[in-house]
Amino acid sequence: MARAVSLPISEDLAERLRAEGEASDLPPPVLAASLMDEGLKTRQFPGIVYMDGPSGRRASLADGPDVWQIIRALQEVPADQHDPVETVCIESDLHERQVDLAVRFFEAYPDEIEAKIEDNRAAATLIDEMIAERDQAVAQGNTAKYKRAKTQRSYSGPSL
């Protein structure tokens, strides 16, 4: 539930917020709430930063990959592995402290990270389907039909 809060800010800050809101197509109050949320999270977890990208803003290690990528890698370690953190560290060249930071962030904000993992899975599924359709069209010698179908498809998640 949203709650309105009045905060004193300088004219300069108000103008910067307005300009950034216009550039990002977000109303200034929504942008301000988002920036405060990100700011509080990065203060709580030094070493976490928020990055812009094709899939939107996401939590990342300041010196490494996105948090969701690390958590997904941990989730994909086979159950018979003795230490998933060690496995991810070896396979990714990440330091244990980096993986631990991502895990602590995930534990505090699981919905945010799970949403990014799910967005990635949905995009990967769509890509796999498109590749299978293309391969089938090529095998049947019907590339014109594939090109029409491709232009009619849409992905409802964040842009990649």
Kindly state whether residue 126 falls inside one of the protein's structural domains.
Answer: yes
User: Are 57 and 72 within 8 A, CB to CB?
Assistant: no
pLDDT given for residue 144 in this prediction: 64
> Has residue 61 got a pLDDT over 50?
yes
Distance from C-alpha of 56 to C-alpha of 158, rounded to nearest angstrom: 7
**Over the range 115-154, which residues count as b (16 or more CB within 10 Å of their CB) and which as e?**
bbbebbeebeebeeeeeeeeeebeeeeeeeebeeeeeeee
Percentage of residues in the chain having pLDDT higher than 90? 58
The mean pLDDT value for 83-103 works out to: 94
pLDDT given for residue 82 in this prediction: 80
**Who's near 108: CB < 8 A, 6+ residues apart?**
41, 44, 45
Kindly state whether residue 16 falls inside one of the protein's structural domains.
Answer: no
User: Are 70 and 107 within 8 A, CB to CB?
Assistant: no
**Who's near 5: CB < 8 A, 6+ residues apart?**
none
Kindly state whether residue 124 falls inside one of the protein's structural domains.
Answer: yes
pLDDT given for residue 159 in this prediction: 47
Give the residue numbers spanning the domain of 137: 45-152
pLDDT band at residue 11 under the 50/70/90 scheme: very high
Burial of 114 (C-beta count, 10 Å sphere; 0-12/13-18/19+): middle
Kindly state whether residue 13 falls inside one of the protein's structural domains.
Answer: no
Kindly state whether residue 104 falls inside one of the protein's structural domains.
Answer: yes
Angle at Cα 63 formed by Cα 61 and Cα 64, nearest 5°?
A: 60
Tokens (6 digits) for 112: 């945010």
105-158 per-position pLDDT tens digit: 999 999 999 999 999 888 888 898 888 888 888 888 776 665 665 555 555 555
64-81 per-position pLDDT tens digit: 999 999 999 999 999 887
Domains in the chain: how many in total? 1
Kindly state whether residue 4 falls inside one of the protein's structural domains.
Answer: no
Distance from C-alpha of 49 to C-alpha of 122, rounded to nearest angstrom: 24
pLDDT band at residue 10 under the 50/70/90 scheme: very high
pLDDT given for residue 160 in this prediction: 43
The mean pLDDT value for 81-108 works out to: 94
Distance from C-alpha of 87 to C-alpha of 89, rounded to nearest angstrom: 5
Specify the pTM. Answer: 0.78
> Has residue 19 got a pLDDT over 50?
yes
